[in-house]
Amino acid sequence: MNLRVEITKEAKENLIEIGDYISIDNTAAALSVIDSLEQLCMSLTVLSERGSLYGYQHRRLISGRYQIVYRIDRTTDNPVVYIVAIHHTAQDIESADY
């Protein structure tokens, strides 16, 4: 069954920050990275559990230098994958409140 994917406001803000940072040096690269990350997020409609476990309720999918943190909500008849954060792997997010 394909799940619906929703990118949270916080994760959208993360994408904007990533794009802004990369575009300082290379606008085309920024657009490419953002597009790739968005496509990877949306690909979680299938094989949504492919990311490694990350904490109690979350999963993490690594793509290059970035990680997508998400959770799967199966409490309804229509399960949803919530993208809660997108970060550079060098960032310290251990204390993040998801």
pLDDT tens-digit profile of 42-69?
A: 999 999 999 999 888 999 999 999 999 9
* 8 A C-beta contact, residue 68 and residue 86: yes
Residues of the chain with pLDDT under 50: none
Domain ranges of the chain: 4-88
Position 21 scores a pLDDT of 95
Question: What is the CATH number assigned to the segment(s) 4-88?
Answer: 3.30.2310.20
pTM for the model: 0.89
One-letter amino acid for residue 21 of the chain: Y
